[in-house]
Structure 1
């Protein structure tokens, strides 16, 4: 009798889908993941150049970003059904091919209409890549290696949005904004070829498609995303458009929940929502989306508007976040199985909250070192959270639900990112006005002499020019206060999420049921 057969732990330590070239397949999967995640932020810095080239306005050019986000959010939920119906290998290959073709079309677009249509196609293809890549990384690795596999996958997910603005700025400055899309073509072809040769097929699991549930969810997500994108421009609920979008989103979401509970063949298996780890991870994913994407939406313009850093320098100052993520993801991979992952998740969230609180102490006169330090600390925190949270979410879940679970996690992270960006942008705009009003009330031609007795003589000679300079400085101060208020709000939200760890079960405990995951 073999040793493996007498050792139940060794016998259980087998990949769900064993492959011979696991290392090469991992490279191919990560290339697809990084290529897709970079496109969520790489085009942001090129928007002004696109606006001129495509003949768009400042308001309409944002649809280049919104169309991608909305299309991706709508398509993510059907990943599980498509993978079961047509095969995860076929869906993954089609997604990579579609993403490459759509990227090439975006690069040659000559009008805003064409760009929006091509970005919709790109967003649909991109929606399938993240859930499928996460599933493949778990399927091809035995339980003893899944912590390391999730660390590698998480590095691509977390570092991609940080590197996007840097790469996008460099390509735009040195070549053309179109290269933000063309850069995907050669890497995509290499990725497709490697996956065609190495990606294994999985058994099909045909099941009925819940067209009614999908229609409700798509309606809820799309209306919610459009409401978030349009809200600030239309002054939110003062606009009937925003009210209608919010009402439709709320009604469709409520009907979808009722349908999930009562339907005979719901879109997602109800087993997913009976799993406590998965449900808790979904709430964490919303917060992670807010921290990661809302912070990255605030910082580049802040560095350029407040301290006048060039685009490339602003991107480089954000890079320490990626270094922090890489460092603690490696540490978390080593600690999994030795330390309760709930402690890692809770500690990481607390560190991220601390970094955001430190950012509330920033000042106009500080140098770049505090930006680097705060970013590195935030990266350290997020690196501790992401990989243990993903492993814990799947630890008590039957492997056949992995693709559906991964699509839900990605959907909730996307919703958190969209909502977070919208909320912080709205608070920023309103707090700038409030802070400016408060400051102006204390600085007038009549109050200046009480602050500085010589002000009257200087004003008599310069007059309007001096007041214009003072107003410019007040605007700068008000903007800084508004940014600090946003950081404080995000710090509070992050800290309030820490107690959620008590709802997580520790992987490997008998109470978790027969599908518990063996940890290294």
Structure 2
């Protein structure tokens, strides 16, 4: 790779297509990794001998580590070159994926997932940057569509691939399968971009800002994950973590607003359009990610689904998403992005409200319909939101704005995972107590079951299971309701942004 244009050979024809697909593959793998483990958590937890709540660290540890390194992307690109950094992260992703598949304990796997998030974080923004670099300016829209498609396919394919691989070959292969893909992809990108300019400059890293970011994000995430098992603020450990998170966050805000070269340029929030769109992105993604976490867990724990069928039930949204993506891409060029974005969020909320009609006898097809129709609304949410966020910032701020927007989205997904599971479990316990209190004649029910041929222990166990099963169902429906409200609230936020022509950006 060169640092000037003297040896530059613009990519055209087949070379452009192959290089673009290889770069898009990197983005696809990173996005895929955020959801492929979702349906596998029960299997991983059982295999490693840990509880379900401990197993969810497999999801959140990756998301938090990824969120922390996203703001580092700009510095890494300036210091080492965007293409060099991308290729290094691509190969490192393969190596760490191999390590994750070989993990024999939860702690080892979580360490691997943290490393995977650290090397995967820069890949998403760098893939977008490199696609825009290798495509001619007149084909910039094609680069944006390709990037958006790989971003959309990941969350859709993740649950399906995770379920099939976990049931058929073992959970280790959800990591091993990515190794050859990442190696081949990295080699292809290196082969086609090695003669392209890859400028680098002296770059200063905001070490204090990075340290404060790691402290407050890490403390908050551990508090959210461990709080449900330690009775929250009755535990000294949770109180200490909460204090660290608050002090760290306030220190981070003060430092980033006063430092000349902050790792997260919070001054970008002065743009009303960026603030409205990025908060919409974070809120909408948090609700969406919470839904794709809670649904497969419920299906496997309480509805008797295998990981494969839970994956099908979640990933079926991809059918109409793929069909509608090109259409939405064209509509965005002529219709106010705020209308499309709000419609998408309201549609996602409506699909969640539909799920609130589920009961313990719901069939796969009854569950499939709202998931299927989620696809087009998901596209209407994902496609215009980034463009709307960047439309009102200064040209020299767009790279930092894109990084900040992705940081908020990723962090929101990690926090939503912890919060929704905590609330799900707490609500289930409350509902269970309510159901027991509503059954004053439990002894009569047990006696009737014993007269039907059951032993006393079997009758008690059967009644307890029925109550537990119904309490989890009621808790799940309540989570669907909360997610619906979040989608509805997020649908109002785009209208705080001024109208903008996002095609120009």
TM-score (norm 1): 0.86
Give distance in 1, aligned partners of 2:158 and 2:442.
49
Q: Does 1:367 align with 2:360?
A: no
- Given the superposition, is the C-alpha separation of residues 176 and 368 from structure 1 closer, same or farther in structure 2, using an over 3 Å criterion? closer
CA distance in 1, matches of 2:104, 2:443: 55
For the 8 Å contact 1:80–1:404, the answer to whether it is kept is yes
1:118 aligns with one of 112, 115, 134: 112
| Mapped pair 1:231 → 2:224 | no
The corresponding residue for 1:5 is: none
User: Which position in structure 2 is the counterpart of 1:240?
Assistant: 236
* Cα distance change on mapping 1:376 and 1:18 into 2, 3 Å: farther
Structure-1 residue corresponding to 2:155? 161
**Which residue among 171, 180, 183 is the counterpart of 1:177?**
171
More deviation in 135-144 or 388-397?
Answer: 135-144
Matches within 5 A, 1:166-315: 166-199=160-193, 200-269=196-265, 272-315=268-311
**1:274–1:147 Cα change, 3 Å:** farther
Structure 2: stretches of 5+ with no match in the other structure: 1-8
Query: Residues 77 and 487 (structure 1 numbering): CA distance in 2 closer, same or farther, change over 3 Å?
Result: same
Distance 1:322 1:240, change over 3 A: farther
Contact kept, 8 Å, 2:83 with 2:130, in 1: the verdict is no
| 8 Å Cα contact 2:219/2:244 also seen in 1 | yes
SS in 1 for 2:122: helix
Question: Does structure 1 retain, via aligned residues, the 8 Å contact 2:162–2:307?
Answer: no
**In 1, distance between residues paired with 2:51 and 2:464?**
28
Aligned to 2:489: 496
Does structure 1 conserve the Cα–Cα contact (< 8 Å) formed by 2:163 and 2:309? no
| 2:325 equivalent in structure 1 | 329
Q: Does 1:427 align with 2:420?
A: no
Partner of 2:5: none
Q: Normalising to structure 2: TM-score of the pair?
A: 0.88
- Of 207-216 and 103-112, the range deviating more from structure 2: 103-112
Unaligned runs of 5+ in 1: 1-16, 450-454, 509-515
Counterpart secondary structure, 2:317: helix
**Offset at residue 63 of structure 1 (A):** 4.4
Specify whether residues 319 and 341 from structure 1 end up closer, same or farther in structure 2 by C-alpha distance, changes over 3 A only. Answer: same
Question: Which residue number corresponds to residue 482 of structure 1?
Answer: 475
- Kindly provide the CA deviation profile for residues 28-56 of structure 1, in whole angstroms up to 9, marking residues without a partner as x: 11111111222223234445555576676
**Number of aligned residues:** 491
Query: Within the alignment, does 1:405 sit opposite 2:398 as a pair?
Result: no
How far has the Cα of 1:498 moved from its partner?
1.2
Using the alignment, how far apart are the partners of 2:426 and 2:450 within structure 1?
Answer: 31
Q: Which residue of 2 aligns with 1:12?
A: none
* Structure 1 counterpart of 2:504: 518
Query: Following the alignment from structure 1 to structure 2, what is the Cα–Cα distance between the partners of residues 18 and 288?
Result: 38
Q: Of 336, 344, 347, which aligns to 2:343?
A: 347
Q: Following TM superposition, by how much is the alpha carbon of 1:105 offset from its aligned partner in structure 2, in angstroms? A: 2.2
Aligned to 2:24: 30
Correspondent of 2:85 among 84, 91, 94: 91
**Structure-1 separation of matches of 2:236 and 2:371:** 40
- 2: distance between equivalents of 1:223 and 1:336? 40
Distance 1:201 1:295, change over 3 A: farther
Do the aligned partners of 2:257 and 2:267 also contact (CA within 8 Å) in 1? no
**Aligned-pair RMSD on alpha carbons?**
2.8
2: CA distance between counterparts of 1:151 and 1:180?
27
Secondary structure at 1:209's aligned position in 2? coil
DSSP 3-state at the match of 2:171: coil
1:198, CA displacement in angstroms?
A: 2.6
- Post-superposition Cα deviations, 1:418-450, rounded to whole Å, max 9, x if no partner, equal 22122211221121122122222222436968x
- 1:507 maps to which residue? 500
Q: 1:144 to 1:503 in 2, by over 3 A?
A: farther
- Contact 1:324 1:383 (8 Å CA) reproduced: no
| Map 1:39-54 → 2, pairs under 5 A | 39-47=33-41, 50=44
Deviates more, 1:463-472 or 1:416-425: 463-472
How far apart are residue 207 of structure 1 and its match? 3.5
Quote the offset at 1:93 in angstroms: 0.9
How many angstroms apart in 2 are the aligned matches of 1:151 and 1:53?
40
Q: 2:378 aligns with which of 379, 382, 405?
A: 382
For 1:377 and 1:64, how far apart are their aligned partners in 2? 29
1:76 positional shift: 1.8
Aligned match for 1:135, one of 122, 129, 138: 129
1:162–1:322 Cα contact (<8 Å) kept: yes
77-86 or 320-329: bigger deviation:
320-329
Distance 1:62-1:474 versus aligned 2 partners, 3 A rule: closer
**Does the CA contact (< 8 Å) of 1:277 and 1:396 recur in 2?**
yes
Q: Is the 8 A contact 2:284 2:486 kept in 1?
A: no
Alignment-derived partner of residue 82 in structure 1: 76
Q: Any idea what SS the aligned residue of 1:282 has? A: helix
